[in-house]
Structure formats: structure tokens, C-alpha cells
A and B are shown apart, each in its own frame.
Chain A
Amino acid sequence: MSITAPATARSLLRFLTAGSVDDGKSTLIGRLLHDSGGLYEDELAALDKRSSVNGKKFDPSHVTDGLKAEREQGITIDVAYRYFATPRRKFIIADTPGHEQYTRNMITGASTAHVAVLLIDARKGLLLQTRRHVYIAWLLGLKSIIVALNKMDLVGFDREVFAKIRKDFLEFAAPLQFQEIQFIPMSALEGDNVISRSDQMPWYEGWPLLETLESIETHDDRGSKSFRFPVQTVIRSDQDFRGYAGQIASGTVEPDNEVLALPSGRRVTIDRLLNYTQDLLQAFAPMSVVISLKEHIDLGRGDMLCDPLHLPSQSKHFRATLIWMSATSMQVNEPYLIKHTTQNACMNVMKLLHKIDLNTLSKQAADTLHCNEIGEVEVETHKAIFCDPYTVNKTTGNFIVVHPVSNVTLAAGIISLPLLPEAEGPKVSPPLNGRARENQGLIVWITGLSGSGKTTICSAVHTELLARGIRVEVLDGDIVRKHLSRDLRFSKAERDENIRRIGFVAHLLMRNGVVVLVSAISPYRAVRDEIRENMGGFLEVFVNAPLELCERRDPKGLYKRARAGELRGFTGIDDPYEPPLSPEVECRTDREGEKESVEKVLAAILRTIHRNEAR
């Protein structure tokens, strides 16, 4: 391999463009290709010919005509890929239609994109469409979005219009926590702020679109994650060489590194890393390599080599977001096939938890998913797959669903949570046989509004349990947020993440025989239920008092701040609290005294412990 030529050093940026019909997407793409010199003379001549026939000036949207005509006729609504380059960077545009019925196309484009460019018509401002585009970009894990505020010429290049839309946009995108959201006011038709800075908008101090695209960081952090190498195929040569070919999904390896083979759970050592005739000193994601091992083991397609300290889950049962892409609707318990990394397996959807209303982003009960619908499901596979949550590792966290008879791709899947990983864990460490447990451990989950009385009850129960010589630990929501979850804010996703972390720690403690008192608002039912389902012993305690009372009590002054608009997304005020449907214990702190509540909880705990011990 030769020394890098300057041109090859240019990095690649894949971006997706989305916008509703007539927002100016074709015009923008045409403008980008045209003004960056991405069109050849013969293509330009063909365009000129068209313009002069119509007696009009150059219309950049004609560049992408092929698709457009089809769209008008309602056929071949699809993703088209376009290529162009500047001296600084190479680009692949995934051009996707923005309409609701084309959600699947946008998802397809977003699955390989680094950045999304979302078009907004300055006259129209934020539409439901925009909301949906932002959600999809977030769901697929894009870290940056560029908001192209187009048709500024039609609003007099007005700074206020730009500022207003920007503010609205930031407000609703805030909970989703993108690393970067950039706003560019432009006129795709006139070319303002597309390639070069606009004279019409001196008040805009940022870069034009092309420069923004050229300089945006792509954050390829795959190489720094835990090592995952799904084996694609086994390579043999005459001189009894046996190697495993694959593309590194994440992480970095070097010869002599110790890795773990799944599903066998055997520890093996990397012998050589090959890229054609050359041996590598190091290989990292997303390189395609051949790995040979020092040990002779049985390894084939669908197996995985991975970091022995940070294993993926080996799960036959997980929770995922499904984007349904087929005209035939989803059916619970139908036999489907899953393709995940290099593994193929039989699968079925065990349960549809809810679907997402893309316009309000709320959850809705549903019993099927139709084409373009997104829902949260529980999936069961017939053999264990080696996976991570998508947010941790995109490559090992995604999959597709294929129909076993028609062979068509039915859905795209994003793994949110492997369920019961421990129970199906690798045979790496032998089970801790013979270690007597003093008692069984239990999670007591105390949920309720801020100010409902959780902390009071929790600390009283804590004291009582200690007095009885029971090993007990408290996980208090506020304290956890200051330490373990310091990085999280209060979006839905982050609240759920916070609860999962608490659940994880609680589970570890419980396994070691501790009674864990969790005291946290934990407003969302689904994630509470998720934790309940994965734990052996779980008692849900609903500390119930009407909102008015909690607000009157306001022990930390938080309701006041929320009402004043200083706190956003405060449970009970502008974020929902979803009460448990069948808690083991309910404490009505508006009607009963502290003592009564504490006794109820204590009794339930002791009953459960004794029952477990009796087994």
C-alpha cells in the first residue's frame, strides 16, 4: 500500500436529506451538485436545453429530475444515492422523501448516515413532519443535525423569522440531546448560504451549508469500543492455514491479544491479523480482516470473537424498536427470520408493547404494526444472538426481520435491552456453587410523585429492617442522579436510562442477598415493568397522593420552580406520571398516617422474605 496521496486523505461524509414535499429538497441538492462543480458539462448542457425550452432561468431542481418525476407519478418512491466531492471532503447524499408514508425510506437512508440535513420552509416553520424527522434521526443514533431553513427569500431574509424557528426547534429537540444542531438560513433557489455566504443575510454569522458539511466531525468512535468481531466466513489455504474473515464491528485488536470466542466461551489468543499479503500490527473497526488464532477451536459463520472483559449479551430474548416496512402487517408469534451481524436465526415477536405515534411521539396501545409504523416489542430468537443495545454499539445492536416464505425484508430493528442476560450468560465463570445465601434478597421499588412521601417511608422501613438484622441498602433517586447518573438529564430516554441503571445496581445487590429499597419518582410504567419482569423478587410500592397535595407540600421547592418555567419536564407539571396498575402495596399518604404506611410496606417485605426462605 502506498503512502497516502492527498486526495485519498479526504474523509467521507454520508448525509441524509429530508424535508416535506416542496420544501425545496430537490432544489437544494441540485444547487449543491451544481455549484460545487459536481455536474459534468454534458449534464449541464442537458439542463440548459430544458431551461431554454421553457424560456426560464436555470432551475437547480431539474438536476434530480429522475426521481422527482417518479414521485409526482407516485411510483418508485425510494432512496437515491448521489456522490460529489470537494477538495476537502467526499460526500454521499442519501436523498429520501419526507412524507409520512415514506418513513421507511428515511430510516433506510439514516441507517448509514453520519448527519441529517432537515429542510424547513421558512414560511411554514415547524411542521409535524419536522418533528418526525427529528425523532427518526434520533432513533437511528445520528449525533448531528443541520436544519436548513429554506426559502428565506420569501420572508424577506428576515432575521426574526429565523430566530423564532430556531427557538421553537431547539425547544422541542432539547430532550433528545443531539451533540450538535446547526441552523442555516438559506435560499436554495437563489443559492444563498448554500455554497457561498449570502449578501442578503449579513446578520447570519455561521457558515454556508457546504462549509458546514465539510467541517462537521463524524465521530467514528467504533474503534474505541469493546472488541466485537462477527465471523463471516472461514478461510483455508493449502498450507493448513485457518483464518476467520470478517469486518470488525467495534474495537481494536493486536496480535497476542486474548479474546473470547462465542458461543463456546473459550479464551483464545490472536495469532495473525491479515489484510491480503500483509500482516497488520493492529486492526480496528470498521476494517475487514482475516484473523488467525493460536489455538485450534471450532468457529464458524455467526460466531463472534469479543473482548473477554466486556462481553455482549448472549440473549434469546430482548426488547427492541421495530420499524415495520412491509405492506403485510406484523403478527405476534408468527415465525420470522432475523438477520443480526452475520447470524441468521428463527424469531418471533412475543409481545407488542406499544406503538409510537410519530406526530405526538406518544405511546399508543396497538395489536399490530402496519407499514411505516414504529413500535416497541419483545423478541424471542431460537438461538442466542450476541448483541449490545444500539445506543452502545450500532453494529451489534441492529437487525432486520425477513419473511421465511416470501424472503422480503419486513422490518428494521433496534435493540434496546437484552432481557435476562445473566440467566443465559456464557459459561465463562462457573456458577458460585455452594455459597449459602443468608436470605434471598428483594427489590422494593417505591414510586410516586415528588413530595408524595417516598423518602419518609423509605427511611423508616430502612430503620425497621436494620433493627431486624436484615441486610438492606437504599438507592435514592436524587442521590443516584448525583453520582451514577450524573451525565443524564430529564428527557424520556434519559429518565428511562436512569431507572435502568438503578435497576441494574439493585439487581446486583439483590443477587447477593440484600433487600434493596429503591426510592425514585420513576414516572414511566413501561420501564418499571421492564425491571420487574427481569427480577426474581420485586415489590412495587405506590406512594399515592394527589398532585395538589404534593404541590402544596413542595418540600424541595421544585413545583414552584417548575410552575415558574425554570424547570422543564417536571413530573406532574409538564411531564406525565404513569401510576402502577397493580402495585403490591399502595400507601395513600393523603389519607393514612406515616406509621400505617410503613407497617404495610414492612409487612409485605417480611412476608416475601419468609416465603422465599421457606422454599
Chain B
Amino acid sequence: MVQLSGGVELLEIKRNETTGHSLRHLDGLEAESIHILREVAAELSRPAMLYSIGKDSSVMLRLAQKAFYPGKIPFTLLHIDTTYKFREMIEFRDRTCRELGLKLIVHTNYEAIAMGATPFRLGPSKCCALLKTKALLDALAENQIDAAIGGARRDEEKSRAKERIFSFRDNFGQWDPKNQRPELWNLYNGRIDKGQSVRVFPLSNWTELDVWEYIQQEEIPVVPLYFAREREVVVRGDKLIIPEHDSEQLASDRREVVRCRMRSLGCTHCSGAIRSEADSISGIVDELKTIRRSERENRLIDHDQEGSMEIKKQEGYF
């Protein structure tokens, strides 16, 4: 960066000397995602950003700030709270929204919870269907949201590899993988009728490593659960579960203090921690360059049923 007399900070020109003009990889991803966010804002009437508090949501939030700066982010944030999230996540969520002055809608399927929906009683699939999918569809309908912007990446999971950036959902919020709109160049077809909606994935082309390198480059705050420290966990096979909820269900299990961190965040009992020494962003970036296990391995919900993610997505899950 160069400091000019007026005190204005000017970016070094991102030009590559030998090839003339070319954008660095992360800048290229950023430019694409910003373009997508602006397209949603311009072409749909009531978009909302699905804010799940994780690293991807944090990156998405920064991209949205950039896309509309110096104006305000022109959509609300929506969090589907299953009430089984980590306390640290909720604290982080409330702090972020307060500091950035963002409008946040929190939606919970209290009816199901009152009926005792937990993964232990219903199994993770059913629990997710009620507390996430149903809750999400209800929240979208209640708030008349016609575009839900999510932080899913195509590299996360097999069925996401085919997902469009603008993904059409019918009046029941369902995805029809056999009947997707072709998506060419950077032209996104977001036309819908009343009652239909689109899911928009501005981070489609990012990988897990890209996300962390961007967090590092932009100094984006993330939930401390991502950083390794000693934590008391329940060890189940090769899964480490941080017991915050349903302690009686986990009471019989062996507890251990393990140096670990979360690689992806979700509900406490369905997202496991990994053994790790990475206690900083640069530590995580280094760890990811050599890690040999996949990101969602520690998630229970993906393994629960063959092709489970695809089925969930058809039903309306994110």
C-alpha cells in the first residue's frame, strides 16, 4: 500500500508485470462473488442472507459489505436457530450484528422443540428436517423472502457440485436437480413468479482454503471455536463431541481433555471437533495445506443416509 499526501490509502495496482493485466486468485473470486451479490440485490425484491455464523458466513458478510460500500447492505440477515448451537456462536452472532448495525431475523421451530425434537430421539435426519429445513421454509414464507443467499461451496459435498449459483426453488421450496436452469457466462436468470424463490450461492467457486486465506487477507473476525485449545470432549469412536447440550444423553460417555478445534460449525451434537494445534488463522491455513481429511467428515448429518445431502436439498435444506 502507498500512503499519499491526502491521507487516502491507495491500493497497489494488482497488475502482474509479465502478463499485463491479471487478477490474483482471491481477488478474482472476490470480484465474482460481489458481482453475484449485486445481481441478487438488483433483480429480486426481498433477498435475505442466511447467516449461519460460520467462516463461510463471515466471508459472505464481508463480501456484502464490500459490494455495497459506502452504502448499506440492502438485505436482512436470517439465522435459523435450532437452539442447539454453541453459546460462543450466538454471542458472536449478536456482537457482529450489533457492531455492524445489521438487521437480523432469528427463526426457531419452537413447535418441534416443544414436542421434544432432538437428534437423540429422532435421529439426525429427522431432527434436521424439522429444526432446519422446516424452520427455514417457514421463515422464508413468513418474511416473504424471495431470494435466500447462502454460503455453501461446491467443493463441500458431492451433490453441491452440480448446484447452480442461482438455484431455482418451486412454491414448496424444493430443488429439482433434474430440471435446473442452464447457467452460462456470468448471466444469472433470477426470474421467478410469486411464491417461488431462488437460493443464491456467491461462494460456489471458493474452496475451504480460499475461505481461510481470504479471512487472513481481510482480517475477518471468526468464532473462536475454530481455533485449537484444550477442550473437554466426549470421545465417540473417532469423533470428538463438545458437550453443551443433552448432557444426560452423553453422560455415560468417556470425557477427555483434548487439544482440538471445530472445522465446520453446526449444532453441538452433530458437528465434531478435530484434533489440531492450529490456534491462529495462519495456523489453520498451514494445517489445511497438509490436511488429509475432508471438511465435512465430522458432520453426522451427511453420513446418515446414502446420498443424504441430495435428498435434504431436494426437500428444501440449504
Contact among B1, B155, B178, B292 for A76, CB-based, below 8 A: B178
Given contacts A12-B25, A407-B193, contact A275 B66 (CB under 8 A): yes
Query: Across the two chains, which residue of chain B brings its CB closest to A281?
Result: B10
Identify which of A228-236, A457-465, A564-572, A584-592 touches chain B. A228-236
Contact B35 A90 (CB under 8 A): no
Identify which of B36-44, B88-96, B103-111 touches chain A. B36-44
Contact A80 B182 (CB under 8 A): no
Contact B42 A232 (CB under 8 A): yes
| Residue A79 CB within 8 A of the other chain | yes
| A203 / chain B contacts, CB cutoff of 8 Å | none
Contact A288 B67 (CB under 8 A): yes
Contact among B71, B184, B293 for A42, CB-based, below 8 A: B293
Contact among B9, B26, B189, B292 for A279, CB-based, below 8 A: B9
Identify which of A121-129, A183-191, A394-402, A514-522 touches chain B. A394-402
Distance to closest chain B CB from A3 (angstroms) = 9
Query: Measured between alpha carbons, how far is A395 from B185 in the docked complex, in Å?
Result: 8
Distance to closest chain A CB from B313 (angstroms) = 12
Identify which of A219-227, A359-367, A532-540, A555-563 touches chain B. A219-227
Distance to closest chain B CB from A271 (angstroms) = 13
| Residue A429 CB within 8 A of the other chain | no
Query: Measured between alpha carbons, how far is A75 from B210 in the docked complex, in Å?
Result: 32
Distance to closest chain B CB from A510 (angstroms) = 36
| B31 / chain A contacts, CB cutoff of 8 Å | 247, 286-288
Contact B21 A224 (CB under 8 A): yes
Q: How large is the interface on A (under 10, 10 to 19, 20 to 34, 35 or more residues)?
A: 35 or more
Contact A42 B35 (CB under 8 A): no
Distance to closest chain B CB from A154 (angstroms) = 30
| Residue B8 CB within 8 A of the other chain | yes
Query: Measured between alpha carbons, how far is A112 from B186 in the docked complex, in Å?
Result: 8
Question: How many of B's residues come within 8 Å of A, CB to CB?
Answer: 71
Across the A-B interface, how many residue pairs have beta carbons closer than 8 Å? 201
Contact among A1, A41, A85 for B292, CB-based, below 8 A: A41
Query: Measured between alpha carbons, how far is A236 from B71 in the docked complex, in Å?
Result: 5
Query: Across the two chains, which residue of chain B brings its CB closest to A7?
Result: B213
Query: Measured between alpha carbons, how far is A398 from B184 in the docked complex, in Å?
Result: 9
Identify which of A103-111, A495-503, A595-603 touches chain B. A103-111
Distance to closest chain B CB from A300 (angstroms) = 10
Contact B9 A111 (CB under 8 A): no
| Residue A504 CB within 8 A of the other chain | no
Contact among A92, A245, A399 for B38, CB-based, below 8 A: A245
| A108 / chain B contacts, CB cutoff of 8 Å | 182-184
Distance to closest chain A CB from B294 (angstroms) = 4
Query: Measured between alpha carbons, how far is A242 from B66 in the docked complex, in Å?
Result: 15
Contact among A247, A337, A342, A394 for B42, CB-based, below 8 A: A342
Contact A104 B25 (CB under 8 A): no
Q: What 1/0 flags go to A43-84 for Cβ under 8 Å of B? A: 100000000000000000000001100000001101111110
Given contacts A40-B292, A42-B293, A220-B22, contact A245 B191 (CB under 8 A): no
Distance to closest chain A CB from B181 (angstroms) = 5
Contact among B30, B67, B189 for A339, CB-based, below 8 A: B189
Query: Across the two chains, which residue of chain A brings its CB closest to B178?
Result: A76
Contact B161 A395 (CB under 8 A): no
Q: Which residues of A (219-262) have their CB < 8 Å from a CB of B?
A: 220-224, 232-233, 235-237, 239, 241, 243, 245-247, 252
Contact among B27, B191, B289, B293 for A287, CB-based, below 8 A: B27
Query: At the interface, is chain A mostly helix, strand, loop or mixed?
Result: mixed
| Residue B192 CB within 8 A of the other chain | yes
Distance to closest chain B CB from A5 (angstroms) = 7
Given contacts A111-B184, A278-B10, contact A286 B23 (CB under 8 A): yes
Contact B182 A412 (CB under 8 A): yes
Contact A75 B178 (CB under 8 A): yes
| Residue B138 CB within 8 A of the other chain | no
Contact among B42, B180, B187, B209 for A400, CB-based, below 8 A: B187
Given contacts A276-B65, A339-B189, contact A409 B24 (CB under 8 A): no
Contact A290 B69 (CB under 8 A): yes
Contact among B34, B177, B192, B217 for A2, CB-based, below 8 A: B217
Given contacts A8-B25, A220-B21, contact A399 B187 (CB under 8 A): yes
Given contacts A78-B177, A247-B31, contact A398 B185 (CB under 8 A): yes
| Residue B162 CB within 8 A of the other chain | yes
Q: What 1/0 flags go to A4-45 for Cβ under 8 Å of B? A: 110111111000000000000000000000000000111100
Contact B216 A107 (CB under 8 A): no
Contact among B9, B24, B35, B193 for A278, CB-based, below 8 A: B9
| Residue A149 CB within 8 A of the other chain | no
Contact B213 A8 (CB under 8 A): yes
| Residue A280 CB within 8 A of the other chain | yes
Given contacts A42-B297, A276-B65, contact A339 B24 (CB under 8 A): no
Given contacts A8-B25, A276-B66, contact A402 B155 (CB under 8 A): no
Query: Across the two chains, which residue of chain A brings its CB closest to B10?
Result: A281
Contact A43 B294 (CB under 8 A): yes
| Residue B159 CB within 8 A of the other chain | yes
Given contacts A43-B294, A398-B185, contact A10 B25 (CB under 8 A): yes
Query: Measured between alpha carbons, how far is A520 from B301 in the docked complex, in Å?
Result: 69
| Residue B245 CB within 8 A of the other chain | no
Contact among B21, B32, B285 for A284, CB-based, below 8 A: B21
Distance to closest chain A CB from B219 (angstroms) = 8
| Residue A408 CB within 8 A of the other chain | yes
Query: Across the two chains, which residue of chain A brings its CB closest to B179?
Result: A408
Contact A112 B217 (CB under 8 A): no
Contact B35 A402 (CB under 8 A): no
| A409 / chain B contacts, CB cutoff of 8 Å | 181-184, 189
| B26 / chain A contacts, CB cutoff of 8 Å | 8
| Residue B154 CB within 8 A of the other chain | yes
Contact B213 A5 (CB under 8 A): yes
| Residue B68 CB within 8 A of the other chain | yes
Query: Measured between alpha carbons, how far is A67 from B181 in the docked complex, in Å?
Result: 18
Contact A2 B70 (CB under 8 A): no
| Residue A277 CB within 8 A of the other chain | yes
Query: Across the two chains, which residue of chain A brings its CB closest to B214?
Result: A8
| A66 / chain B contacts, CB cutoff of 8 Å | 158-159, 161
| Residue B251 CB within 8 A of the other chain | no
Contact B68 A235 (CB under 8 A): yes
| Residue A550 CB within 8 A of the other chain | no
Query: Measured between alpha carbons, how far is A275 from B9 in the docked complex, in Å?
Result: 11
Q: Which residues of B (42-59) have their CB < 8 Å from a CB of A?
A: 42
Q: What 1/0 flags go to B4-27 for Cβ under 8 Å of A? A: 000011110111000111111111
| Residue B28 CB within 8 A of the other chain | yes
| Residue A415 CB within 8 A of the other chain | no
Query: Measured between alpha carbons, how far is A387 from B209 in the docked complex, in Å?
Result: 37
| Residue B143 CB within 8 A of the other chain | no
Contact A252 B185 (CB under 8 A): no
Contact A252 B21 (CB under 8 A): yes
Contact among A9, A90, A104, A237 for B71, CB-based, below 8 A: A237
| A182 / chain B contacts, CB cutoff of 8 Å | none
Q: What are 12 pairs between A and B in contact, CB < 8 Å?
A: A2-B217, A42-B293, A81-B161, A221-B21, A232-B38, A247-B35, A285-B21, A287-B23, A288-B38, A288-B67, A398-B185, A400-B189
Interface residues, chain B, CB within 8 Å of chain A? 1, 8-11, 13-15, 19-28, 30-32, 34-35, 38-39, 41-42, 65-72, 154-155, 158-159, 161-162, 177-178, 180-187, 189, 191-193, 204-205, 207, 209-210, 213, 216-218, 285, 289, 291-294, 297
A-B pairs, 7 with minimum CB distance: A223-B21, A40-B294, A288-B34, A237-B70, A407-B191, A80-B161, A83-B155
* Extra pairs beyond A280-B13, A340-B187, A408-B181 (16, CB < 8 Å): A5-B217, A7-B213, A10-B25, A40-B293, A112-B185, A223-B20, A232-B39, A233-B38, A245-B38, A275-B66, A276-B69, A281-B11, A288-B38, A288-B67, A398-B185, A412-B182
